[in-house]
Structure 1
Amino acid sequence: MSKHHELFESIRKRTGMYFQEPTYSAVAAFVLGYDTAHEGGVLSGFKEWLVLQLGTGSNLTWTALVLHAAFPDEPSPQDAVVSSPATQRQAIESLFNLIAEFHETRANRDGLRKIFVSYDYWIKQQGLE
């Protein structure tokens, strides 16, 4: 995972070098494409982990869940992110912080399995199965 971590840290530090428009939308699209190019292996379990962290949002994509984590008090996080360059930066920082936390959790012994088992249990507790 270190090559992914190095790339994501480089993008975090020098977002403007990688993107003409350094927006959350552009960065999230890149991360999604990067994950797709790695056959979904980089972010496998990320959505489920985010749902467990937030305690809600099983019907949302990980891109939307990151915004809910970045702007927890906003009624519409998707609207909040576009309000200024500062909120764009906040969303980008949140994305990379969350990915780093997720990868730490996933790197633990049976980390990915534990995420999926916990998510399954959470879904059943919510009556969403």
Structure 2
Amino acid sequence: MMTVDYRTLFADVHRRPGSYGLDGSYGQAVAFIMGCDAGNAWGLLVGFPEWLAMKAGGGANLVWSALVLRIAFPGPTVVTAAETLDQQHDEHAVGALFGLLDEFLADRKGSRGAAAIVSSYLDWQRLRREQNS
């Protein structure tokens, strides 16, 4: 059985998207990453939405691809759909996606692990609810 180093793979996809049949857009990068997740029985990105929601300071009801956009484009205008991006913003979103994904995979591989990330997220959610009560 071959083990894939996804941090290395994703760095290469980011650097050379055409080598993987991609056009370099945010939408295609998301589709590629979702395919990798599906090929791992949906276990590759366990904890990623929660990790992103904590990083974004909210938005736990959004899919991870929308959370990445929220982080990439902070401010009063919330961007959650790749279709609304021009080429410059699309390139920025792609860079943010691969940077966040690498950071997440490094964090998850370290001492934290997916279970610890989800546990931190649940604690974070609980604290937010208590603060809003």
Provide the TM-score with structure 1 as the length reference. Answer: 0.86
Question: Equivalent residue for 1:5?
Answer: 7
Whole-Å separation in 2 of the counterparts to 1:74 and 1:36: 33
Between 1:74-83 and 1:119-128, the stretch displaced more is 74-83
Q: Which amino acid aligns with 2:46?
A: S
- Identity, in percent, stands at 33
Q: CA deviation at 1:74?
A: 5.4
| Paired residue total | 128
Gaps of 5+ in 1: none
Judged with a 3 Å threshold, the aligned counterparts in structure 2 of structure 1 residues 13 and 20 are, in CA distance, closer, same or farther, namely closer
CA displacement 1:22-81 (0-9 Å, x = unmatched): 211111011011111111221110000001111101100000000011111251313687
Structure 1 letter corresponding to 2:65: T
Q: Secondary structure at the match of 1:108?
A: helix
Residue correspondence of structure 1 range 59-98 to structure 2 within 5 A: 59-73=61-75, 75-78=77-80, 82-98=84-100
The alignment partner of 2:80 has SS state of: helix
1:101 matched residue in structure 2: 103
Instruction: Give ranges in structure 2 of 5+ residues lacking alignment.
Output: none
Moved more, 43-52 or 18-27: 18-27
**1:1-129 counterparts in 2 under 5 A?**
3-73=5-75, 75-78=77-80, 82-127=84-129
Moved more, 77-86 or 114-123: 77-86
SS at match of 1:109: helix
8 Å contact kept, 1:67–1:81: no
- Cα offset for 1:16? 3.4
Q: Are 2:67 and 2:80, in contact at CA under 8 Å, matched by a contact in 1? A: no
**TM-score of the pair, normalised by structure 2:** 0.84
Question: SS at 2:32's partner residue?
Answer: helix
